[in-house]
Amino acid sequence: MTVRAMFRAAIVDGPPPPYNTLHLKVFYPAQPSGSTQETNLGVVPAAAEKAPFPVVILFNGINCGPELYRWLAVALAERGLVVVTFAWVAENLPGMVALTPGVDLAMLMPDRYGQGPTASALPALLKELEQLNTDGVLAGLLNLDRVILGGHSAGGRVAIESASPTFFAPVRAAFAYGAHTAAVMQLGYPAGQILPLPDRLPLLLMAGTQDGVIANSSDRYGLTWERATTPVERTFHEALSGGRDDSYLLLLEGANHFSFVDPFDSTTGRAFLDFPATQPDAALRELMAEAIGLFVAAHGGDSDPQTGARQALVQRLKSPQPLIARFEYK
């Protein structure tokens, strides 16, 4: 499968310039044609016979460039999905300019949490997808009724907190790596509280047993985690009621917080807090991409799961293997 990408820009309502602009990179399954336009401009047609394409929107971690998730975008596009990564430099906190997934702090406050999405970039991204579906190489080829949210770290948190048909009707499922819903005490929450998720759609929560960033950030939640994966495990058990067999927890043996990125960038973010990974990152990413791909195939469509894809997902992850520390679903 040939994968190509295009660039777009979108404006977020509210923030003042220049902090109101998203820069998108949109990956898609392509079919080279040998046309003059393709040769001169590099504009390669989409593989239209595989359309309509479901869309995955990837939310980056804070100060993690979108290029760090190209490996996953390509892997998912090879499975027949359109994948959107984006860069947004904004002042999320007063006086702090950062590369952000877009966190709506107002919606994290105790009096408003759960009443709306926390992903402040998502309305602009969905609007730009509608425009992409009207002109260019993806015109008429996007299935905008099948949008899947995913992300890493803070980006994973806003993805799973915003995955509700009440907030965004096209969203069908969500996944996250290195993300949880422990409440920050500085926002007015008691120590150790896990905030509920919408729990309306299928979710895949992933974490690594060597996640030093999570382990070394527990002070903001008023306690010390027993394990690096404890807040992710508690999110799975306490923020989701279960009962539909479409909520999954996957703990990866030896993976750290930044096993989800490639290449690793030590110049930004909080990589200095992480523990060393004890398993090969390439093997871990291959397993993550496979798990996400199977999850989207099983649950990224209508309300009823695709039985064969779901069986493949469960069978692949429940069998004993050195890269999986724990897998469960409810």
Average pLDDT of the chain to the nearest whole number: 95
Domain that holds residue 137: 2-329
pTM of the shown model: 0.96
Q: How confident is the model at residue 307 (pLDDT cuts 50, 70, 90)?
A: confident
Q: How confident is the model at residue 96 (pLDDT cuts 50, 70, 90)?
A: confident
What is the number of structural domains in the chain? 1
Tens of pLDDT along 262-272? 999 999 889 99
Q: How confident is the model at residue 316 (pLDDT cuts 50, 70, 90)?
A: very high
Q: Looking at residue 302, what is its pLDDT?
A: 65
Length of the chain equals 330
Q: Looking at the DSSP assignment, which residues form a beta bridge with residue 327?
A: 250
Residue closest to 102 by CA, chosen among 115, 111, 113, 93:
93
Instruction: For residue 228, give every residue at least 6 positions away whose Cβ sits within 8 Å of its Cβ, in sequence order, or none.
Output: 207, 208, 209, 210, 211, 212, 214, 215, 275
What CATH number is associated with residue 267? 3.40.50.1820
Residue closest to 43 by CA, chosen among 7, 76, 14:
7
Q: Does 143 score more than 90 pLDDT?
A: yes
Tens of pLDDT along 159-201? 999 999 999 999 999 999 999 999 999 999 999 999 999 999 9
Q: Looking at residue 300, what is its pLDDT?
A: 86
Q: Looking at residue 322, what is its pLDDT?
A: 97
3-state helix, strand, coil in the chain (%, to 5): 30, 25, 45
Q: Are 123 and 145 in contact (CB under 8 A)?
A: no
Tens of pLDDT along 5-55? 999 999 999 999 999 999 999 999 999 887 877 777 788 999 999 999 999
